[in-house]
A and B are shown apart, each in its own frame.
With several copies, the nearest count.
Chain A
Amino acid sequence: MAIAVSVQREAFDVAAEYAQLRRDNSADGATAMFVGSVRDFNVAQSVAHLELEHYPGMTEKVLREIAGEARQRWQLGRARIVHRFGRLDPGEDIVFVGAAAPHRQAALDACAFMMDFLKTRAPFWKKESGPDGERWVEARESDRDALRRW
Chain B
Amino acid sequence: MIRVLFFAGLRERLQCAEVSVPASECSTLAELRSHLSERGGEWRSALADDKLQMALNRSVAEPHSAVDGGDEVAFFPPVTGG
Q: Do chains A and B touch in the complex (CB under 8 A)?
A: yes
Residues of A within 8 A of B (CB): 36, 52-55, 57-58, 61-62, 83, 94-95, 104, 115, 118-127, 136-139, 143
Stretch with Cβ within 8 A of A (4 or more), from B5-13, B23-31, B32-40? B5-13
Counting contact residues on chain B (CB < 8 A from A), the size range is 10 to 19
B47 at the A/B interface (Cβ < 8 Å)?
Answer: no
Q: Is there an interface contact between B58 and A57, defined as CB atoms closer than 8 Å?
A: yes
Q: Is there an interface contact between A124 and B58, defined as CB atoms closer than 8 Å?
A: no
With a cutoff of 8 Å between Cβ atoms, the chain A residues found around residue B7 in the complex are 53, 55, 123, 125
Q: Is there an interface contact between A122 and B79, defined as CB atoms closer than 8 Å?
A: yes
With a cutoff of 8 Å between Cβ atoms, the chain A residues found around residue B74 in the complex are 55, 58, 123
Residues of B within 8 A of A (CB): 5, 7-9, 51, 55, 58-60, 74, 76-82
How far does the alpha carbon of A121 sit from the alpha carbon of B79 in the complex, in Å? 7
Q: Is there an interface contact between A126 and B81, defined as CB atoms closer than 8 Å?
A: yes
How far does the alpha carbon of A36 sit from the alpha carbon of B80 in the complex, in Å? 13
Q: Is there an interface contact between B58 and A54, defined as CB atoms closer than 8 Å?
A: no
